[in-house]
Amino acid sequence: MRARCRQGGGDLISVHTPDQASLVAAMCPGEECWVGLQRSYSSPLWEWVDGTDANYAPWGLGEPSSIAADATVVLTAGTIPGLRVLSSGGVVERSGVCLRDGALNSGKWWLTKVDEDKLLRPWGIAVAPDGARAVVSDAASNKIFVLEIETGEVHVLAGQRAAGTDDGVGPEARFWRPRGVAFAPDGRTVYVADSANHLIRAVSYPEGVVTTFAGKVRQGDGRQGVRGGALALGWVSWSGTKVAMFSEPHDVAVSPEP
């Protein structure tokens, strides 16, 4: 993210007062943004990228959680903004706040853009019955993508980076670590093992309408079950109302029978 700021003639932003921390947190389009706090390879001390010491550093609870020289820092956008250390080898699907030539209130700041159509941690893949495209689950971005097999192009069918259980259309819907995916025989529905939510979700294709097909947001007790021809390879129990409960389902398969 720092390289993207430098391409625009600036650098990741440095924060020196509580008011500045609140202002930067308000700029973040998501829950966290990259900021310019770092550690030197030759010193154990933290410093801001503008060359100033970190005399002001609003660390969150339990932070800094790493003293690695390659550690990077994000500012959370909560009621009380706090700094959090992330490994530089981790997933970086966050925006960064950049500043150029002046104070924060000079207006010369901008956000690095996150590529919304970028696969971060593809997990499951299923080819459509017509063979022209496939769906791919991404466990890091919490999205379901469509892959055009002939061109290799991808676009988002449903989901957003923020985890959740919301049903909805396209980016209105939320998943949490989606994993296995499977097409229905007619190619009009995609079933998703929504792992961390303990659910099986159904996504209409190509509309991207997401509904909860089976399960509850709780763990099951260790028995398998089937509903409507979709078999989830996880733990499931049946209550008196025939409601399935799963424990982190990792895959899903659809019977060829209608």
Q: Digits of tens for pLDDT over the chain (258 positions)?
A: 677 788 778 888 888 888 888 888 877 766 678 888 887 666 678 888 888 888 888 888 888 876 665 567 888 776 678 888 875 444 456 778 888 876 665 557 777 765 566 777 889 999 999 999 999 999 878 899 999 998 888 889 999 877 889 999 998 999 988 999 999 999 999 999 999 888 999 999 999 999 999 887 754 433 333 333 344 444 333 343 446 778 889 999 988 765
CB 205 within 8 A of CB 222: no
Query: Is this prediction's pTM over 0.85?
Result: no
Please report, as a single letter, which amino acid is at residue 11: D
pLDDT of residue 187: 93
Q: Residue 95 phi/psi, 5° resolution?
A: -80, 160
Q: Which of 248, 242, 211 is nearest to 225 (CA)?
A: 242
Which CATH number does 122-254 carry?
2.120.10.30
Location of each CATH 3.10.100.10 domain in the chain: 2-111
Please report, as a single letter, which amino acid is at residue 59: W
Give the DSSP letter of residue 146.
Answer: E
pLDDT of residue 182: 95
Tokens of 4: 């993207």
Please report, as a single letter, which amino acid is at residue 51: G
CATH class belonging to 2-111: alpha beta
Tokens of 153: 């192009």
Run of H or E residues at 72: strand 72-76
Location of each CATH 2.120.10.30 domain in the chain: 122-254
